């Protein structure tokens, strides 16, 4: 039973990551920022799904926290080698190749939004606990 639920979680987390990658590539193709709709809204829906599935919890067997998502997307974007290229570029004082730079910017945009949403989601009760008392 546990392995069955882990398989379901794994297919759900794979679908979330696949869709995030799809959104990022679509934004890149259309030269549109991820921070505006429709991309922002679609990414937020996936964030809510990941949170609802427990993938943002520290003890989850599936890691879709900002760090975990970053690692998975970096692999899918082929950025592990780009990180080595970036280090070499800095050492040689040259610019990182444009395709890698563009993908790193995409990844950073996703990570920044994901971290902000995680922070806001976790702090929501702190700022809205007395809402019913004042209404």
Give the span between the Cα atoms of 46 and 42, in whole angstroms.
Answer: 7
Does pTM top 0.85 for this prediction? no
Tell me what the mean pLDDT of segment 100-110 comes to: 85
Structural contact between residues 47 and 8, judged by C-beta atoms closer than 8 angstroms: no
Residue 75, pLDDT above cutoff 50 = yes
Residue 2 has a pLDDT of 45
pLDDT, position 77: 84
Average pLDDT of the residues in 63-81:
87
Task: Return d(Cα 130, Cα 135) in angstroms, integer.
Answer: 9
Q: What is the distance between the alpha carbons of residues 13 and 50, in angstroms, rounded to a whole number?
A: 7
Where is mean pLDDT largest: 26-35, 88-97, 118-127?
26-35
Contacts of residue 110, defined as CB under 8 A and 6 or more positions apart, other chains included, come to: 20, 24, 34, 43, 69, 70, 73
Instruction: Rank 89-93, 97-101, 128-132 by mean pLDDT and report only the highest.
Output: 97-101
65 touches 135 (CB < 8 A): no
């Amino acid at each position: 039973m546990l392995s069955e639920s882990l398989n379901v979680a794994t297919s759900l987390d794979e679908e979330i990551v696949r869709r995030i990658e799809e959104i990022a590539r679509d934004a890149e193709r259309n030269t549109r920022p991820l921070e505006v709709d429709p991309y922002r809204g679609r990414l937020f829906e996936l964030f809510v799904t990941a949170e609802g599935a427990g993938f943002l919890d520290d003890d989850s067997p599936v890691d879709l926290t900002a760090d975990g998502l970053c690692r998975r997307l970096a692999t899918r974007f082929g950025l592990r080698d780009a990180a080595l290229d970036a280090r070499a570029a800095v050492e040689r004082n040259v610019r990182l190749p444009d395709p890698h730079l563009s993908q790193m910017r995409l990844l950073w945009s996703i990570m920044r939004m994901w971290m902000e949403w995680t922070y806001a989601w976790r702090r929501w009760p702190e700022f809205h606990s007395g809402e019913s008392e004042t209404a």
